Structure 1
Amino acid sequence: MSWRGWRLWPQSFTALWRESLQFRTVLITIGLSSFAILVIGAYLSFSVQANLFQSRLDQVLGASNRADIAAQRVLESSDAADRAAVQGVFSSARGLIETTSSSQYIALIRVPDQEASSIAPQDLVSPGLSSVLTPELRAQVQADRDGQFWQSVSLANDSGGADPGVVVGTQIEIPEAGRYELYLGYSFADADQTLRFVQLTGSIGAIALLIMLAVITLFVVRWVIDPIRQAALTSRRLAGGDLEVRMPEKGADELATLARSFNGMADSLQARIAELAELSVMQQRFVSDVSHELRTPLTTIRLAGDVLDAQRESFPPDTARTVELLHTQTERFELLLSDLLEISRYDAGSVTLALESTNLVQLAGDAIESMHTLAEQRGSDVRLVAPGGHFDSELDPRRIRRIVRNLLGNAIEHGEGRPIVVTVDSDEAAVALAVRDYGFGMTPEDAERVFDRFWRADPSRKRTIGGTGLGLAISLEDAVAHGGRLEVWSAPSLGSCFRLTLPRHAGDEIPSSPIPLPPEDAAGTATAVLDLIDSTGSVTTLDDEPSTRKGARDA
């Protein structure tokens, strides 16, 4: 595996851990089982090791004690008085010790601090034993004539290695020669081999048990998880619109109950969705039919109103005022019918775009010019700033112009006569337009509902421009139809900023918007924002100078 593969392995494992319940369950089961087997195996291994060692130790201590007693009897029964006789008795005792103890490691060392004797035999130490006799063991043996002491050591074997073992030390008395330290070494190689065999057998058994547990767990988990996975797949297909899909029902256990309950829920959901769809179609048809049916009488009323409005100056003042109100409300009614028809088209999914290569700066300039009179009446100075919006984009000019007019109308309506800044900018992927006003602004709760149909932030506030309450809802639908986004930022006393972002080419993704939101001047307080506006009503934070309509311009 390459270095890159090793680096990606933790990410793959983490993703599999999060996404697969089956993998997570099997891994947790194996982990906990391994821990339990490890604890039990370690306990059994230590218990067997301790029992084997203690049993073997009892054997060697008994053999050493028997050899010591037998040798002491031989030595005590001897009447040797010269060097040769003492040496013969010493050799006999050594042979008896080897025979009785079954040990090939023997050491006979004269106890220090005794009077010198010319007939005392020389010290005898078997090869490999002298290096394992520690001063601590010898000190214990020398201090206690009747005691038996032992120590764990490593004894060299014939193959050049070392085996675990013990050395047992006692004292014996040789007539005419004095006291000697007797050390017998015993190899525990057989006990060590037995322990290794038990550990190997236990390890193989533990691995086999883990494999069996993994297979059994995998089988059980698959048996339980498969219905859950089927439920997840079925719910995903239901969410995708396939209302006919159902879970298979098998047996009478809890999983079968889950399948039946899920299918019952799907049936109820399908029936409810079908009912709502039918009601929605009826509602859309009703709105469309009513709107179309109202067209004829409205046209008649409009014609009659136009005739009366043309002769308004010849009427008495009260009648003239009534004719004026009739004309105004008829125009508003006509706009409302047009918006209702447009909404019904979006609800029915029958909207098609007439895409053209359009310059958004020129389109925004035309919209600002068309609303110039209204802005002057409200005392608002509208400025168009286009540092990078000179690129053509594929869009429906009529619908985008309607969005810009709606955004400008709202800014003029709620701008409180303060400056309004329209910014157009673009990059290689998207083009954006933002309308910034410095009016009262909205709370976050109001900003979340600003695109709802017929919703108003302040119902008690009088609408002076005469909108239908559907402008922002239609604008949002127009933006989505282009594959774009219409977003809003607003804060109380700081004003609002609506940002429209569209792809430069139809069907492309929008990675980011060329215009920031919140706007760059949104970090201050209400006083700081008001300080940005000079006595003439212009925004002093903008560095762009007014120029022609193709660049930045004042409306």
Structure 2
Amino acid sequence: MPPVGVPGTTAGVPTGTFAQPVVQTRRPLIAWRNWRAWPDDLAGLWRRSLRFRTILVTLALTALAILVACIWMALAIQNDLFQARKDQVLADSQRATEAAQATLDAAAVQGDSIQIQNLMTSVRDTLAERSSTDLIAAFRIDRTPSQLAPQDFTVRGLTEDVISEGLREAVQSSANQQWWQSVSLPLTDGPVPGIVVGQQLSVPDVGGYELYLAYDLGSASQTLGFVQATLWIVGISLIVLIGAISWFVLRSVTIPIGEAADTSAKLASGELGVRLPVRGEDELATLGRSFNAMADSIESQIKELADLSLVQQRFVSDVSHELRTPLTTIRLAADMINDQRDEFDPATARAAELLNAQVQRFETLLTDLLEISRYDAGSVQLELEPTSLAHLAEDVIGSMQQLADQHGSDIRLVAPGGYSPVEMDPRRVRRVVRNLIGNAIEHGEGRPIVITVDSDQQAVAIGVRDFGLGMKPEDVDRVFDRFWRADPSRTRTIGGTGLGLSIALGDARLHGGELSVWSELGRGSNFVLTLPRQSGHLTAASPVPVDPGDDAIAAIDALGLTQPIEIVSMDAAAEASGRGGAS
């Protein structure tokens, strides 16, 4: 049942019958070639472009704000229009009804049916004159047959079908109350929104009549439609205008930012001469000048460091070469003295032995310094030949077995792969493996050492696992630094120059491979050398995992080695840790 309104209430709020809905049609999107890639393209543009992201967010928030504002204004205007028109209709209907009732009350019909009929005709004329509508209808409330009661009448098609049962019941139930309802009026031009107002009339000698006056709201509906269309046009225009303004403003900001990003990338890639163009005196110009000053400072410092590094490399190389000649003479003299030590007294003989040992160490140090200077100068060349890494590891283990026995370490080779020849420089790889095994023997605390060799289709690798005290995480990060040691107070038991691991890392990178390390306090260390099968760089993970987990312990137990593996507590390992960074 349609809503029925009473004076002073809001029960008669319009149901929307007099407001024509705005129909929006969708235009087909432009058929791009690769339309399936739109989501990925838009997502990539969202991540890469600050301008696109800012404009999109601005337009979305602006559209939301304008949409809310337009809807609120449209509803407010609709309610105000309807409320104003309803109050006008109710007042007009009340005046016309009061005039008609006054005409009925002033008449003296005295039971004459003709006079009563003429009186009703006069009432209809009065209603037409006093009201602003010509849609009028009157129906007798009491349906008991009577010769005096005038017939019901309707004007311009305001029939009982237009008036709802709820409104008629409300009018019949109250003699002095005015009732209204929003309806759709069936006019000749088609249905239009309207309001029907109902009230009772009291006819002398007959009784009460239902009086209905219908008012056309088509003009209000047209006004509302015009206002709504104007609001939508203005809203869309505002969105487009704000988008254009945002694009223009952002363009003036993002172009300098883009130039700064491109210049920074070029500067990071090594083009030290690039600079930002500076325009004006605003904040962006200040940023450009600051960036250029920073670039000038970086360029000058890098050039100074490059010159200093070149001088240092030349100094190391020259000193190493110059020391070779006197060192050779000293080595010959030390050998001669050492060969005659049996003829000396014990103190002199011990001095001869120490002299010979330190001269040998000095010669090794000079050799390593020359090798480092070659790496720094970029003059190292590989002598490649097909070599089996597993067989190379067996040879190195055999040559170092006596040293391992002296330290009480048992070395065991586990080689499920790595037997097929791979192009490598065997001299350099042998030096790397010897260095890794020597470190494991020195720092393995007499526990077993596991050498693992394995391969796949992309690479071959060798891992050297010891179960010594291990290293701290900050020590692991510096283990390949030149002359660095975790605990300088600890003495070397095997000897070395402090450059071994640094040279080993250079040899690995020279082959296009990598040298990785894992170490934990109380669990030991694991060094893994990985070399690619083909020339170039590694493209996959190493066949030997850098983090061995507990697999190495299980392998030791399965091999049945005589020495048990004891995991040292973290506190004890931290106190005793002092592994050399490079031997």
Q: In the alignment, which of 352, 360, 368 is matched to residue 323 of structure 1?
A: 352
Among 554, 562, 567, the alignment partner of 1:536 is 562
Please state whether the residue corresponding to 2:359 is helix, strand or coil: helix
User: 1:106: which partner in 2?
Assistant: 136
When the two structures are aligned, how many residues end up with a matched partner? 534
Equivalent in the alignment of 1:309: 338
* Aligned-partner Cα distance in 2 for 1:506–1:165: 89
1:513 to 542, 559, 580: 542
For residues 158 and 320 of structure 1, what CA distance do their matches in structure 2 show?
136
TM norm structure 1: 0.89
Q: How does 1:343-492 map to 2 (within 5 A)?
A: 343-492=372-521
Deviations along 1:448-481, one digit per CA (max 9) or x if unpaired, are: 2211111112222221110111111111122122
Contact 2:411 2:450 in 1 (8 A): yes
Shift of 1:267: 0.9
**TM-score normalised by structure 2 residue count:** 0.85
Quickly say closer, same or farther: Cα 1:335–1:131, change in 2 above 3 A: farther
Correspondence for 2:240? 211
Instruction: Find the counterpart in structure 2 of residue 177 from structure 1.
Output: 206
- In structure 2, the CA distance between the partners of 1:357 and 1:158, relative to structure 1 (3 Å rule), is farther
Whether the 8 Å CA contact 2:96–2:126 is kept in 1: the answer is yes
Between 423-432 and 529-538, the greater mean CA deviation after superposition: 529-538
Name the aligned partner's letter for residue 231 of structure 2. Answer: G
- Structure 1 unmatched ranges of 5 or more: 541-555
Tell me the residue number matched to 2:184: 154
| Counterpart in the other structure of 2:259 | 230
**Worse-matched range after superposition: 190-199 or 451-460:** 451-460
Structure 1 counterpart of 2:74, which letter? S
Whether the 8 Å CA contact 1:129–1:185 is kept in 2: the answer is no
Q: 1:153, CA displacement in angstroms?
A: 2.7
Correspondent of 1:118 among 138, 143, 147? 147
Counterpart-to-counterpart distance in 1, 2:67 and 2:211: 43
Structure 1 range deviating more: 30-39 or 279-288: 30-39
Q: What residue in structure 2 maps to residue 142 of structure 1?
A: 172
Offset from partner CA, 1:146-182 (integer Å, 9 cap, x none):
332222233345465x433222111112222211121
Residue 83 of structure 1 is matched in structure 2 by 113
Q: CA RMSD in A?
A: 2.7
Deviation of 1:386 after TM superposition, in Å, equals: 1.1
Given residue 404 of structure 1, which amino acid in structure 2 is its aligned partner? V
Cα distance change on mapping 1:195 and 1:533 into 2, 3 Å: same
CA distance in 1, matches of 2:159, 2:364: 114
Between the aligned partners of 1:208 and 1:351, the Cα distance in structure 2 is 70
Cα distance in 2 for residues equivalent to 1:426 and 1:268: 48
C-alpha change, 1:323 and 1:219, in structure 2 (3 Å) is same
- For residues 275 and 211 of structure 1, the distance between their equivalents in structure 2, rounded to whole angstroms, comes to 55
Distance 2:289 2:58 in 1: 30
Match of 1:544 in 2: none
Amino acid at match of 2:180: W
Amino acid at match of 1:221: L
Distance 2:449 2:518 in 1: 15
List runs of 5+ in structure 2 lacking aligned partners.
1-28, 567-583
**Cα shift at 1:378:** 1.2
Percent of paired sites with the same residue: 55
Structure-2 change in CA distance of 1:350 and 1:157 (3 Å): farther
Is contact 2:137–2:158 with CA below 8 Å preserved after alignment?
no
Residue 92 (structure 2) pairs with residue 66 (structure 1): no
